[in-house]
Every structure is written in C-alpha cells, then in structure tokens.
Amino acid sequence: MTRVFSGVKPTGHLTLGNYLGAMRRWAAVDQHEADALFCVVDLHALTVEHDPARVRRLSRQAATLLLASGLDPEVCTVFVQSHVDEHARLSYVLECVATDGEMRRMIQYKEKAAREQRRGGSVRLSLLTYPVLMAADILAYGAGEVPVGDDQRQHVELARDIAVRFNQRYGHTFVVPRATRPEVAARVMNLQDPMSKMGKSDDVGPGIVYLLDEPDVVRKKVMRAVTDSGSEVVYDREERPGLANLLEILAACSGGSPQELAGAYRSYGDLKKDAAEAVVEVLRPVQERHKELCADPGYVERVLRDGAERARGMARPTVDAAYRAIGL
Ligand code: ADP
C-alpha cells in the first residue's frame, strides 16, 4: 500500500484554500486508499515572526479541524510534528546533502524573506532551511505520494532530489516521493487579490475565507470578491483571474468543471451568489463537527498522543538507517 504524508502549518487560521486544495481530498480519498499520515507541522510555524502561545493554540485548532474535515484516526495517523523527534533528527542529516543554492532558489523563500524584510524584521535561518525539514517530514515515513496544492510542489520536488542524491551517495535509504494535486482548486486565490494565493499566513483580510467563518461572513467575502469590469462569464485564468477563481471555487464545491459552469451564468452577481452558497454548504459539516470536537478536548488529546506514538514507530527505523548510511 502506498504511504502518503501531508501536513498543514499552524501559522494562521485554516482557509478555504487549505481545504479545497488539500484537506478535503485527504479525507475523501487519501486516507482510504493509502497508508496515510497527516501532520500539524508546528516546527514550520517558527520560521517567521511568531507568538508562542498563538502557535500552540493554532496547532490544536488545526488538529481539531483536520479531524473535523473527516480524517478518521482509526483509518489514518493524525499527529503534531514536534511530538516526534525524528523530523528534526533527520532534517540535520539532510542539510548535509542539500545545498544552500537549492534553498535560495525556492520561490516561497524568496517571497517570504522579502515580506519579512519589508516589515523591517530579519530573516530567520530556519526560513531558508524549511524545505529540508519538509523533506525530512516526507522521507522519514517513506511516503511515495504527497498530496498538496500547487504552492508546495516545488518543495516536494526538492525532497525528491534530496532523496535521489542521498540514495546515490550513501546507498538506498529513502523512497523517492512525488507530489499529487487535486483536479480543481489546486491554487485558490485571494478574493481581493486574485494574483496571489489565499494564504493563511497573510494578514487577516476580506479576501480570505477561513474554515470557521460564519455563513454570513463567507457570503459577504464572496459577494465582494474582485472581478473585472467585463460582463460576460468566461473561464480564463490569465485574462480574468478573479472570475476564474470564483468559477474554480464553485466547481470544487458543487461539482462540474469551471469551463462548463462559465457557460451556465449570464451575470457575475448570480455566479457570486451561487459560489457563496456552495462554500457555505461545503463548510457547514466541517464547522458542525468542529464544534462537537471542541466540546471533547480530551478526545483530540488522545488522538494526537496515539498518532505521535504510531508515527514515531514508523519514522525511527528509516531515520536510524539514514544515520548509519551517512556514517554516524
Ligand atoms: P498556507 O500557505 O495556508 O500556510 P500550508 O503550507 O499549511 O498552507 O499548506 C497546507 C496545504 O494546503 C498544502 O497542501 C498546500 O498546498 C495547500 N494550500 C495552501 N494554500 C492553498 C491555496 N490557496 N490553494 C490550494 N491549496 C492550498
């Protein structure tokens, strides 16, 4: 059975982008078709300016939302990255295989480093080495597939390169992973700025739909989405990015393809109304389950403890083998 690994960073409240681009498929497909692990990657949340108490709170919330989105701890493994030492242990060894040139080429590094500098802050070294830790997350478990949105593809490619290089130099140790992506909504864009992705780490904004937004808040955000001044509904990602984003969100929530849906609408207003309702409906069961889980914090605690124990058992043999192979 293929091993699958993926995760979310607790750097902010989870968004519709996280859900449509990743989480929904983890629950609907991956956990059933593979031996799957899903992780709240809290070490990654320390790569940018952070508040310790907030990271802890967001980690718990992300784990609760993973369960609320339908991950079943009887079927897959749900855990928090920092509960399993093997990630950091392997990361160091992989730093001895990766190069700084590779790290500096990462698009996300360039974007985030520029953002930190604009804010007047300094860039943490861990922001540069973040993709190595992510490679360790994946390689420690021998994951063959990594279901992610488009924004993470470059990092999975890097994990692949590192695995191949390590295996060539030190003997076969790692499974070489590949990224898999959803058919629609692999890159949900900010509703107010359709040229940038809907990212949870961005400042709270009217262009980001959060998984825990109340229905009326969702409606308001979608109805106010930026489109263009045209009137004909067509699907064109390059020329009409705002409209394309709404069509993709609607397609992802209610089925059909963005192209087909474009033909069914005569006005932007009708499209926005339907997209808003579709998002509200998709989020409803997740929000209901989230509420139930919040009423039973001991359950989430137990799931995470068991998950970490299982994950540790899976990662340790591979990480030990990597230590031996590299000469330790
Ligand atoms: P974020 O950018 O929100 O911090 P994470 O790095 O925690 O996201 O990613 C969690 C998962 O959600 C990844 O698989 C990522 O590819 C996916 N994802 C994040 N944002 C989007 C988006 N706007 N559209 C589609 N998928 C996304």
Domain containing residue 92: CATH number: 3.40.50.620
Instruction: Clarify whether residues 55 and 14 are in a common domain.
Output: yes
Within a domain: residue 203? no
Cβ-based neighbours of 31, under 8 Å, separated by 6 or more: 38, 71, 72, 75, 76
What distance in Å separates the CA atoms of residue 15 and residue 24, rounded to the nearest whole number?
12
Residues 198-204, mean pLDDT to the nearest whole number? 74
Instruction: Clarify whether residues 157 and 283 are in a common domain.
Output: no
Instruction: Clarify whether residues 118 and 43 are in a common domain.
Output: yes
Within a domain: residue 187? no
Within a domain: residue 195? no
Evaluate if residue 205 carries a pLDDT over 80.
Answer: no
Rounded to the nearest whole angstrom, what is the distance from the C-alpha of residue 165 to the centroid of ligand 1? Answer: 27
DSSP readout, 57-97?
A: HHHHHHHHHHHHTT--TTTSEEEEGGG-THHHHHHHHHHTT
pLDDT number for residue 202 = 63
Counting ligand 1 atoms within 8 A of each CB, the residue from 18, 24, 39, 48 with the most, and so the one to mutate, is 18
pLDDT in tens, 17-50: 999 999 999 999 999 999 999 999 999 999 988 9
Instruction: Clarify whether residues 53 and 82 are in a common domain.
Output: yes
pLDDT in tens, 49-91: 899 999 999 999 999 999 999 999 999 999 999 999 999 999 9
Within a domain: residue 260? yes
Domain count, the chain: 2
pLDDT in tens, 251-272: 999 999 999 999 999 999 999 9
Instruction: Clarify whether residues 261 and 171 are in a common domain.
Output: no
* Average pLDDT of the chain, as a whole number: 95
Indicate if ligand 1 lies below 6 Å from the C-beta of 201: yes
Instruction: Clarify whether residues 115 and 174 are in a common domain.
Output: yes
Cβ-based neighbours of 261, under 8 Å, separated by 6 or more: 235, 247, 250, 251, 271
Within a domain: residue 221? yes
Within a domain: residue 63? yes
Within a domain: residue 188? no
The pTM is what? 0.95
pLDDT in tens, 295-308: 998 999 999 999 99
pLDDT number for residue 318 = 98
Instruction: Identify residue 169 by its one-letter amino acid code.
Output: R
Instruction: Clarify whether residues 262 and 319 are in a common domain.
Output: no
Within a domain: residue 66? yes
Q: Nearest-CA neighbor of 66 among 103, 30, 91, 100?
A: 30
Rounded to the nearest whole angstrom, what is the distance from the C-alpha of residue 167 to the centroid of ligand 1? Answer: 29
Instruction: Identify residue 166 by its one-letter amino acid code.
Output: F
pLDDT number for residue 185 = 78
Instruction: Clarify whether residues 151 and 261 are in a common domain.
Output: no
Tokens at residue 19, please?
Answer: 């859900």
pLDDT number for residue 169 = 98
Do the bridges between strand 35-40 and strand 3-8 make them parallel or antiparallel, or are there none, so unpaired?
A: parallel
Domain membership of residue 286 as a residue range: 215-291
Instruction: Clarify whether residues 226 and 318 are in a common domain.
Output: no
Instruction: Clarify whether residues 320 and 224 are in a common domain.
Output: no
Evaluate if residue 317 carries a pLDDT over 80.
Answer: yes
pLDDT number for residue 282 = 98
Instruction: Clarify whether residues 121 and 29 are in a common domain.
Output: yes
CATH number of domain containing 285? 1.10.240.10
Evaluate if residue 183 carries a pLDDT over 90.
Answer: no
Cβ-based neighbours of 75, under 8 Å, separated by 6 or more: 31, 32, 36
Rounded to the nearest whole angstrom, what is the distance from the C-alpha of residue 282 to the centroid of ligand 1? Answer: 17
pLDDT number for residue 203 = 62
DSSP readout, 108-140?
A: HHHHHHHHHHHTTPPPPHHHHHHHHHHHHHHHT
Evaluate if residue 204 carries a pLDDT over 80.
Answer: no
Indicate if ligand 1 lies below 6 Å from the C-beta of 17: yes
Instruction: Clarify whether residues 78 and 225 are in a common domain.
Output: no
